[in-house]
Amino acid sequence: MTQERQERYKNLEAQRDDVYEAYTARRYERQPQFYELFMKEEGIPIYGGLGVYDSRQLPMAPWKRMGGKGTFIELDGQAGYFGMYAVEIPAGGVLNPERHIYEETIFVIEGRGSTEVWREGSSKKQTFEWQTGSVFAPPLNVWHRLVNATSSPALVVATTGAPNVMKLFPSRNFVFNNATEFMERYDESENYFKPSDEIEGSEKVMASLRTNLVPDVASCYIPRSNTRAPGQGQLSLKLSGNTFLTNGVFEYPSGRYSTGHCHAAGRVLICLKGKGYSLNWDSKLGKRPWEAGKGHLVNRQDYIPGGFVTAAPGNGDWFHQHFSVAKESMRVIRLGSTNQLDEGPGEEIELPGGGIFLGPGRHIIFYPEEDPQILKDYKAALAQEGVEFDMPESVYKKEAMPASTKDAYSAQEGV
């Protein structure tokens, strides 16, 4: 090859690299999703981060469409799987009626009132009451309106399937003025909003409650499962036939805490009673970040009843851990969405699922493997609150480590 041809070849190669770089730069410049534009157009704050100590501290602004004061919530870990907002209902006031083609779950942070539900063109209007701690799901694409029955503002937090629906159908008119009726989701029966207490499943297969209203999720019965902590309880909530949004209740005894774990993104925990904190850290820091000199990169979110934390920052590649520090047990409700199905129909679903693979069936950092600083800081937090440390000594012995996440701590007696 002559020198002239070599130079020409180099020039062509350089031009090709320039074109490739320009192409890839454009290729990965993500444009705003319709839901993101929708949030900005609504004219209320958008709250981000890992969580909040108390929902009552959230920034609020008048929300014309809803008729109260509100804020959107976009935490690290929602990952566009579901939407979330908080809205304040004026004292003795009402929110504007609405219907929408996406699923929604509403949790009452504070207040007492009622919700009216009706079909387009129907003369039948159903009403049910709610209070602090209630959780319910308006039926899909059915008109509903929240009424505050007290002389103080009421505060609710809601999760929605809006981001994905708006991604498929980027049209306000389609989403909010759709005449489609889902008779199989809402039949106007008299008992539709009658609370149920019939629990399905067992401790080995996550117990669930199929209902459309839980009057007080902070005090309802939940069975013990011991899945992520000795003595832990958990209950799945199946509301209003929702298939995209999922909910669950978890309880950690006083003086105890969960193992470090990771799973797919798309969940937020709201504290119901007690108080506590959660740790979050990138899995790249390892299982023992303090020992590696990277403890300053671990995030901590404290919360009281009404506060919340993202349960899985990142995209399934962050470890997180939950700690109960009050004299009473700590209970949280998990709000979020289903975002993956690794199992086929009829197959048993392994919890927690997703996340970093630590070995056969493993998505948990068991207690003997955790960074010693975690236990040291937890004992200090308990001492500050005047609460006794109550973890069984046996869980810190390597020979007692469960073989997999399925076994967890359910096989241990007296925990």
- 233-260 pLDDT, tens digit per residue, is 999 999 998 988 989 999 999 999 999 9
Question: What's the mean pLDDT in 31-47?
Answer: 96
- Confidence class for position 360, pLDDT limits 50, 70, 90: very low
Q: Cβ neighbours of residue 93 under 8 Å, at least 6 residues apart?
A: 67, 68, 147, 148
Q: Is the dihedral of CA 384, 390, 396, 397 positive or negative?
A: positive
pLDDT the model gives residue 413:
38
Q: Which residue has the higher pLDDT, 16 or 92?
A: 92
pLDDT tens digit string along 112-142?
999 999 999 888 999 999 999 999 999 999 9
The band of 356, judged by pLDDT with boundaries at 50, 70 and 90, is very low
> What are 186's two structure tokens?
């809402």
Distance (Å, rounded) from C-alpha 79 to C-alpha 74?
9
Model confidence at 42: pLDDT above 50: yes
pLDDT digits (tens, 9 = 90+) for 288-345: 999 999 999 999 999 999 999 998 887 778 899 999 999 999 999 999 886 544 444 5
Domain 34-176: top CATH class: mainly beta
Residue 204 pLDDT exceeds 70:
no
Please give the average per-residue pLDDT across 269-295, as a whole number: 95
CA neighbours closer than 13 Å in the CB half-sphere of residue 282: 7
d(CA 163, CA 35): 5
CATH number of 199-344+352-400: 2.60.120.10
Average pLDDT, stretch 392-414?
A: 65
- Average of per-residue pLDDT across 76-102: 94
Mean pLDDT for the chain overall: 87
Distances (CA, A) of 302 to 51, 58, 274: 9, 15, 12
Annotated domain spans of the chain:
34-176, 199-344+352-400
Give the pLDDT confidence of 383-400 residue by residue, as tens digits.
999 999 999 999 998 876
152-170 average pLDDT score? 97
**3-class state of residue 59 by DSSP:** coil
Q: Given the structure tokens 């023992």, which residue do they identify?
A: 288
